[in-house]
Amino acid sequence: MYIRKKTFILIITYLTAAVVALGAYTAVHFGMEGSYRRTAEYGYAHAFEEVVYAASSLSDSLHRASYATGAELSGRLCADIYGSCLAAEMTMAALPFSTQELEQTAAFIGVAGDYARSRLRASAQSGFDDAARADFASLYKTAAALTEKLHKLQNAVNDGDVLLDEPENVFASGGDRLSSSMLDIEDGMGKTELGSYGGRYAKDISSQIRSPVPEAKAKAIAADFFGLEADKLEAEYTAENGTACFSFDGGSVCLDAEGNVLSLSSERSVCGDMGSSELERIARDFLASHGFGEMYLASSERIGSVQTMKFECVENGVRCMNDSVRVSVAGDDGGIYAYDATEHIRVHGTYPAVSTAVSESAARAALPSALKVIDAQLCYAPADDENSVLCYGFDCTGSDGEKLLILVDAQSGRQFDVFLEAN
């Protein structure tokens, strides 16, 4: 199989970066340039440095994995690779441009992390076989090429030949922008061959190349969904998988080949103080008006004047962690600022019946005694493959105040996964 152009990474990274960039620009516009400019400068420069570091670490770990045989080393390398991919995804979120524009790069990072995680349990028992080492070697080839290009771009930024996409540089003449230079790297990303990968991205293969819905129909769908004017939507690009993106004054919208709305992103500055609870209500009403049923609010974060929320679908009374939609609402007029249903469209389907072998109280025995349980609910947790595992999800706080979500398998009563959550 090979990895094609498609949005794998949650567009929330895109939304967060847009909000940060626009917030900094608005601050400059209103005369608060000193503090905000320094914040933007540090944030963008630091984020790019971290992306380069994460890519370099990923390349190194993949290279070592291509020669590893022992169980202990193999398991450790899987953890290192997965951690480097998470770091790359997180730091790409702070770059002042869309990761949807870096689809090939984002796809590669997503697949590398998912593949390493899928290999973690098996490798910890028996180490890597020849097929796994061949796959890691293929991933390393792509990672090494990416790292080399990023290092060259890093040198160009340090020499002043490439400018960061900071508010004061938006209209500056001379020099390339980091965003356009990253797109040049994106265009050069090759395809990654994996012989034994069967994870959650495995269905996104070449046989699924499709023709998109007719342009006029796609425009009509997008316009109706977000209250836009169809005749003001301009075709931006069409991906191999049929994903079509259109731009309008103030943002862009994307649909898949079947006409499902994938995402909306906005570019306008937002300056308003509507309350977070009101913005959450608006988001819920918007989802309900588009046919979404019961939704679980998994996270809600205020960044400047924009409230960004992650909603998870609820099936059989159980939250589906991987079946999510992200909505951002502007705090000035209550309009939908950004939207991402990529994960929902990719994974939504039939979930297994609710059947537990252990009780909630028995599942609590798998938690460290030092944790305080704040909430507990049943969850369909994403597994290493396309299946979902029924778990008890315990929202906890640690002794230092850190927030955690600990998943306990509802059949075995053993811990399934642990997530650290932002405070």
pLDDT in tens, 155-202: 888 888 888 765 444 434 445 777 778 777 776 676 666 766 656 555
For the record, the structure tokens of 405 come out as 């979500």
Pick the most confident of 26-35, 41-50, 204-213: 41-50
Domain with CATH 3.30.310 in the chain: 216-347
For the record, the structure tokens of 266 come out as 């906005």
- pLDDT, averaged across the chain: 79
pLDDT over 60 at 154, yes or no: yes
Q: Are 283 and 339 in contact (CB under 8 A)?
A: no
* Distance (Å) of CA 131 to CA 24, 26, 216: 48, 52, 46
Pick the most confident of 6-10, 167-171, 234-238, 273-277: 273-277
For the segment 200-215, the average pLDDT, to the nearest whole number, is 59
For residue 30, what pLDDT is reported?
Answer: 38
More confident residue, 348 or 6: 348
To the question of pTM greater than 0.75 for the whole model, the response is no
pLDDT band at 27 (very low <50, low <70, confident <90, very high): very low
For residue 95, what pLDDT is reported?
Answer: 66
Among 97-101, 185-189, 317-321, which is the least confidently predicted range? 97-101
pLDDT in tens, 219-232: 999 999 999 999 99
pLDDT over 70 at 38, yes or no: no
For the segment 345-362, the average pLDDT, to the nearest whole number, is 85
Helix axis angle for 178-187 and 103-126, nearest 10°, is: 60
pLDDT band at 296 (very low <50, low <70, confident <90, very high): very high
Of 348, 419, 326, nearest in space to 11 by CA: 326
For the segment 54-68, the average pLDDT, to the nearest whole number, is 92
HSE toward the beta carbon, residue 235, CA cutoff 13 A: 13
- The dotted CATH code for 360-421 is 3.10.450
The dihedral through the CA atoms of 38, 43, 44, 46 has a sign that is: positive
For the segment 319-342, the average pLDDT, to the nearest whole number, is 92
The residues that bridge with 340 in the sheet, in sequence order, are 263, 326
* DSSP H or E segment with residue 377: strand 372-382
Query: What is the DSSP track for 320-374?
Result: EEEEEEEEEEETTT--EEEEE-HHHHHH-S-------SS-HHHHGGGS-TT-EEE
Pick the most confident of 1-5, 20-24, 162-166, 371-375: 371-375
For residue 109, what pLDDT is reported?
Answer: 87
For residue 418, what pLDDT is reported?
Answer: 85
Residue with tokens 């909000």: 19
One-letter identity of residue 180: S
Distance, in Å, from the CA atom of 150 to the CA atom of 153, rounded to the nearest integer, reads: 5
More confident residue, 328 or 190: 328
Domain with CATH 3.10.450 in the chain: 360-421
Architecture of domain 216-347: 2-Layer Sandwich (3.30)
